[in-house]
Amino acid sequence: MIEPNKTYAVEILDAGLAENNAGDKQCIEMELGCESGKLWHRIWLTPATKERVAKTLAEFGIKATDGAFWDANCAALVGLKATIETEEHEYNGKTSVRVKWFNGPERNREKAPLPPSKVSSIAAMFTATEDDSVPW
């Protein structure tokens, strides 16, 4: 069973273009699976999400400008690995688990090193002095 507030390595079992019930918003709808279970996730395709969608597809080695990807109904995503972070979601009085973050296998988080002054400050916080009593 997939639980909230956890990170899972998943496989994209199915993917395709879909729209909401009103027919005014489109998305890539995916079925995700791992040993703990299955989960469905949508990547909404709107002008506001355009940049983020392009970055996410790039994490899978897919160019958002590739018309063949869209023409093939996003089939290139099926079988690929991803990482998800989950969260608890309440809607209409029902609680479920949904995807909070969806990351491709090529996601590179920028990790800038801390400046030496901050490193020294952190180290000092954990350095015991003669007046400090360690509770453990």
Looking at per-residue pLDDT, the higher value among 44 and 110 belongs to 44
Return the domain boundaries, the chain: 7-103
SS in 3 state form for the chain?
A: CCCCCCEEEEEEEEEEEEECCCCCCEEEEEEEEECCEEEEEEEEECCCCHHHHHHHHHCCCCCCCCHHHHHCCCHHHCCCEEEEEEEEEEECCEEEEEEEEEECCCCCCCCCCCCHHHHHHHHHHHCCCCCCCCCC
Q: What are the tens digits of pLDDT across the range 83-131?
A: 999 999 999 999 999 999 999 886 755 556 677 777 777 777 777 555 5
Task: Supply the pTM of this predicted model.
Answer: 0.75
**Fold of the CATH domain 7-103:** OB fold (Dihydrolipoamide Acetyltransferase, E2P) (2.40.50)
Measure CA 58 to chain center.
Answer: 14
Q: What pLDDT is stored for residue 130 in this prediction?
A: 55
